[in-house]
Amino acid sequence: MLQFAVIGGNVRARSASPHMHMAAIMRLGIDAVYSAYDVEEPQLVWFLEFARRNLDGFNVTIPLKEAVKARVDALAPEAAGSGAVNTVAVRGGRLVGHNTDVLALLKLAGDALSGRRVLVLGAGGAARAAIYAARESGASAIYVANRSPERAARLAGEFGARAVPWGSTPPDVEVVINATPVHDRAVVDLRAARHYIEFVYNPPETAMLRLARELGLGAVDGISILVEQGAEAFRIWTGVEPDRDAMRAAVLRFLGRGAGDSP
């Protein structure tokens, strides 16, 4: 039996990933199971040794994406370039880090990012994926804002981007990406933007996503990113393309919405 998992802070209570991946596993009839482990950084070394011996792959979420990157045996190009890992494949006891957040953004929003001026909100692992995807898509300029100006400046400097104050919107910004947990208020002015990309999937419609839709912006919601990055992880682990519709329906059920409801 194949063994997969997700690790992070309090994931057993809040993560939709086990439901989403088990839906894909059941649809394909694969002999596999997907579990959730609450892991904090002091426990990470122990968990990685456990994973080498017992797992075939696992996902990584807050707050471990950067810490895992420093401890795996090898990195896929998008993980090395972004400086964060959200998916690990276990191959013969070796841990290979990937970043399927990057792959999901390139697939879902690469055209929207190409040639555009992009504002990324956040300075953690998701923000790293967003900045790297924007750069790989050929964004003409990348701005970074975070509640900690120091973290924004460090991250922007690493990628050749420009740090801007939290809550501000440079006047020429065309795409805004929310890579923070903020979901209950509008952090920046979206009226001049063309596209909005949301990482938060719970709630399915955040305050800024709702505003973006009201303004008629092109929008990528958090559930779409969750499902696509999960599908990319599933493909990396198994070599098989999963049923994304089944995965999305499982996420909606987990969030207490009908599979036919709009997110």
Q: What angle do CA 19, 129, 145 make, to 5 degrees?
A: 115
Q: Using CA atoms, how far apart are residues 168 and 149, in angstroms rounded to an integer?
A: 12
Q: Strand 162-163 vs strand 175-178: parallel, antiparallel, or unpaired?
A: unpaired
Tokens 């809550």 -> residue: 167
Annotation says 65 is catalytic: yes
Q: Structure tokens of 13?
A: 């209570």
Of 178, 153, 202, which Cα lies nearest the Cα of 14? 202
User: CB within 8 A of 230, min separation 6: which ones?
Assistant: 17, 20, 21, 24, 59, 100, 242, 247
Which of 19, 65, 69, 183 is an active site residue? 65
Contacts for 90-97 with beta carbons within 8 Å, 24 or more apart?
90/51, 90/52, 90/55, 90/56, 90/57, 90/58, 93/52, 93/53, 94/52, 95/48, 95/51, 95/52, 95/71, 96/72, 97/68, 97/69, 97/72
User: For residues 159-190, b (16+ Cβ closer than 10 Å) or e, as one string?
Assistant: bebbbbeeeebeeebbbbbbbbebbeeebbeb
Backbone angles phi, psi at 163, to 5 degrees: -80, 140
Catalytic residues: 65
